[in-house]
Amino acid sequence: MRDGARDRARDRARDPAGRPAAATLVAALALLAAACGLGACSLLASESPSHSVAAYLAGWERHDWRSMRRLVYHPPSTFATENAAALATLGATSESYAGGAVRTSGSKASVAVTEHLDLRVVGRWTVHSVLRLRLVSGHWKVLWSAATMNPALGDDGHYSLAYDWAPRAPILAANGTIISPAAPTAVEIGLEGKYLKKPASVESSLVSAGATAQEASSAVAAAKADPAAFEPVFTVSWSRYEELKPTLYPIPGVFFQALGGEGYTPTPLVGVVGSLGSVTKAQLKQLGPPYTKTSLVGEGGLEAAYQRQLAGTPGATISAVVPGRTRVLATWAPKAGTAVRTTLDLQVETDAADALEAAPNEAALVAIEASTGKVLAVANTSQGSDLGLEGAQPPGSTMKVITATALVAKGLTPQSPASCPTTIDVDGEVLHNAEGESPVSDMLQAFTESCNTAFIGLTMANLGYDSLHEAALDYRVGTDLGTGMPVYDGSVPVNDGETDLAASAIGQARVLMSPLDLAMVAADIDTSTVRSPWITDGAPAERAATKPLPGTLVSDLHEMMLSVVESGTAAGTGLPAGTYAKTGTAEYGTGSPLPIDAWLMGFNKDIAFAMIVIDAPGDGGPVDGPIVAKFLDSLDSTGQ
């Protein structure tokens, strides 16, 4: 290259001021470096800090831990789990995050963040935090620690949330007496002799649970001597009861009595009221937050049905737990639950329970004030079930009240001709009488003697496959009764053939009812008005519309039910004058002879009743009649 060419090339490499190009770049960098001192370092970044802040807060709101992590400088391996755990601990259902003005100082920036956290149960909680950033290789990165979520957490703290429940509200009898414990503090473990199957095994189990050998043997001996009484063995704390319940609860003859808080009066209403215990997995899934595995909840009966109302809403305390100390960040006061008032009359309940002490096996008795539908008493001999309200048993011949209703609707009367052969063949199946057979000439006599074959014959000759179903619906059997708590509403399905229709007519096949269902039917017949029974104030049934029964039907049923007491299957059982009733004997299971349940339903004055004895030693009249008679006599003596 010639010298002139080299000179021209050198000149083109200079800037207009005559400086080399490299020197120009150095000067430019110096100027930008100087600008950093004036807070303009963001000019070196590929984006502004505001861009990183907006992206981080948007990811936070979406729970997009992955995108957030990319914006963090050296994020810990637990970044996602710590963020998720914080919101889960608080029970956050939704969140929003808003940043203020970004403050930049050299390679550092910060922005105040307002967190609006909507928490289950307690509502909105607002947290003021700070998001700090650093310029790293041309990108603004978040400097994350637990303090980014809340300054009170410091570098490695975490949230803690504790719920605080107010004392549980009580369940009340009609007169305001508390019939459930506000909270059990201990449990008395005892025996009932009539349910003991293997005394030696029971003794061994009680000793293993913590009773002394003397306590166990003495209790077994006392229980045998007085089979109807509850014989205490020993008392344990509530927590110990929870440990023992899985092994002791299934043992026949072992019973538990909760020892409640102040103001609690023990009653025989355990089956209706329910009890309190540690939440089960199924309940925890159903109830959800704020309930935890340590929560005390209702088990069965009204305690379970009105769990949320009785428990109220808990308060909460949110704390920051950091190494060495715990700091309370926010508190909310609990809201107490409200009491549940029932229609149950303690005197009537006591009379029913006392009468049932004579029952030869598991039994239940339900009483209703016929003129109002108020359930006055639900007595069960078994603490482990509520046979009176939730039992689903074949009603046997008490179903003949509904069958007679269907027949009267077809034009029959008590004087309609009927016969009572020993057996009757229906589509190849031979059906017989459960309570013997007597010569009858009309439906009145057939009802009085409870002749199965007579009612099957009348049914097959006059009723269709939907007749019994429709007659049951007229009494609201099989509908949602709206009592105010879970009950069995009864079932009388449309029949699917002749044998199904014949068996249904006498309360067998697929027909199922509870004592409550039959007491309701009796109340309707007593007052000539169909109404649903109710157990708690404000229950849907209390406000439900009523409807009248046809006058001719009522007079016919009164005539037939009175005849049962005066000269039929309930005669001679001690039922007081003015009682109208129907007996029932229901076969079930296997064996020869088949086991039976004994039923009696009816009314006296304004009290409608129904009773069942499971696996009874005889028919409904002789087994149930004397017990119901004692109950009704007790009501008379106490002025009920």
* pTM passes above 0.85: no
Looking only at the bridges linking them, the beta strands covering 363-369 and 230-237 are unpaired
CATH superfamily, domain at 43-72+95-150: NTF2-like; domain 1 (3.10.450.100)
The correct answer on CATH 3.30.1490.390 for the domain covering 346-637 is: no
CA 557 to CA 575: how far, in whole Å?
Answer: 18
Looking only at the bridges linking them, the beta strands covering 186-192 and 230-237 are antiparallel
CA 52 to CA 71: how far, in whole Å?
Answer: 7
Which amino acid, 219?
A
Task: Check whether the bond before 593 is cis (ω within 30° of 0).
Answer: yes
Report which DSSP code applies to 597: E
DSSP conformation letters of 130-162: EEEEEEETTEEEE--SGGGT-GGGTTT-EEEEE
Backbone angles phi, psi at 591, to 5 degrees: 115, 175
Backbone angles phi, psi at 344, to 5 degrees: -70, 130
CA 390 to CA 392: how far, in whole Å?
Answer: 6
Looking only at the bridges linking them, the beta strands covering 171-172 and 340-341 are parallel
pLDDT band at residue 505 using 50, 70 and 90 as cut-offs: very high
Is the pLDDT at 9 greater than 50? The verdict is: no
**What is the structure's pLDDT at 42?**
38
Q: What residues contact residue 188 under an 8 Å CB cut-off, 6+ apart?
A: 232, 234, 235, 256, 257, 259
DSSP conformation letters of 9-65: HHHHTB-TTS-BHHHHHHHHHHHHHHHHTTT-GGGGSSS-HHHHHHHHHHHHHHT-H
| For range 168-182, the mean pLDDT | 87
65-91 confidence digits (pLDDT tens)? 999 999 999 999 999 999 999 999 999
CB atoms within 10 A of CB 361: 16
320-364 confidence digits (pLDDT tens)? 999 888 999 999 999 999 999 999 999 999 999 999 999 999 999
**What is the structure's pLDDT at 241?**
76
Backbone angles phi, psi at 609, to 5 degrees: -140, 160
205-223 confidence digits (pLDDT tens)? 899 889 999 999 999 999 9
Domain range list for the chain: 3-36, 43-72+95-150, 346-637
pLDDT band at residue 512 using 50, 70 and 90 as cut-offs: very high
- As beta bridge partners, residue 583 has 600
| For range 485-514, the mean pLDDT | 96
Is the pLDDT at 308 greater than 80? The verdict is: yes
184-188, 385-389, 414-418, 549-553: least confident range: 184-188
CA 91 to CA 81: how far, in whole Å?
Answer: 15
Counts of helices then strands in the chain (DSSP H, E): 23, 24
Q: Of 256 and 617, which is predicted with more confidence? A: 617
- As beta bridge partners, residue 365 has 379, 611
43-72+95-150 and 346-637 share one fold: no
CA 612 to CA 598: how far, in whole Å?
Answer: 6
CA 282 to CA 509: how far, in whole Å?
Answer: 33
For 544, counting Cβ atoms within 10 Å of its Cβ (0-12 exposed, 13-18 middle, 19+ buried), the class is middle
**What is the structure's pLDDT at 250?**
75
**What is the structure's pLDDT at 10?**
44
Is the pLDDT at 38 greater than 80? The verdict is: no
CA 459 to CA 466: how far, in whole Å?
Answer: 12
Secondary structure class of 632 (helix, strand, coil)? helix
H or E element in which residue 186 lies: strand 186-192
Q: What residues contact residue 621 under an 8 Å CB cut-off, 6+ apart?
A: 435, 568, 569, 570, 571, 573, 583, 600
Provide the sign of the torsion angle of the four alpha carbons 53, 57, 60, 65, taken in this order: negative
Q: Of 23 and 402, which is predicted with more confidence? A: 402
CA 513 to CA 389: how far, in whole Å?
Answer: 9
Is the pLDDT at 550 greater than 70? The verdict is: yes
Secondary structure class of 274 (helix, strand, coil)? coil
Q: What is the rounded (10 degree) CA torsion for 542, 545, 546, 550?
A: -170
**What is the structure's pLDDT at 389?**
95
Report which DSSP code applies to 426: E
Report which DSSP code applies to 74: S
Looking only at the bridges linking them, the beta strands covering 547-548 and 123-136 are unpaired
**C-beta of residue 389 within 8 angstroms of C-beta of residue 343:** no
| For range 230-256, the mean pLDDT | 80
H or E element in which residue 164 lies: strand 158-164
Report which DSSP code applies to 423: E
Report which DSSP code applies to 397: G
**What is the structure's pLDDT at 276?**
79
Is the pLDDT at 125 greater than 90? The verdict is: yes
Q: What is the chain's Cα-based Rg? A: 39
Is the pLDDT at 613 greater than 80? The verdict is: yes
Residue-averaged pLDDT of the chain: 88
Is the pLDDT at 13 greater than 90? The verdict is: no
Q: What residues contact residue 396 under an 8 Å CB cut-off, 6+ apart?
A: 434, 506, 507, 508, 584, 585, 586, 587, 596, 597, 599, 620
Q: In percent, how much of the chain has pLDDT > 70? A: 88
Is the pLDDT at 171 greater than 80? The verdict is: yes
Report which DSSP code applies to 591: S
CA 518 to CA 400: how far, in whole Å?
Answer: 11
Backbone angles phi, psi at 187, to 5 degrees: -135, 130
Secondary structure class of 523 (helix, strand, coil)? helix
Is the pLDDT at 19 greater than 50? The verdict is: no
Is the pLDDT at 130 greater than 80? The verdict is: yes
Is the pLDDT at 28 greater than 60? The verdict is: no
Please report, for residues 395, 550, 588, the alpha-carbon distance to residue 511 in angstroms, rounded to integers and kept in the order given. 7, 24, 12
CA 45 to CA 136: how far, in whole Å?
Answer: 9
Which amino acid, 322?
V
pLDDT band at residue 24 using 50, 70 and 90 as cut-offs: very low
Six-digit token string for 56: 């981080």
**Which residue's structure tokens are 């009861």?**
241
Q: In percent, how much of the chain has pLDDT > 90? A: 69
Which amino acid, 99?
G
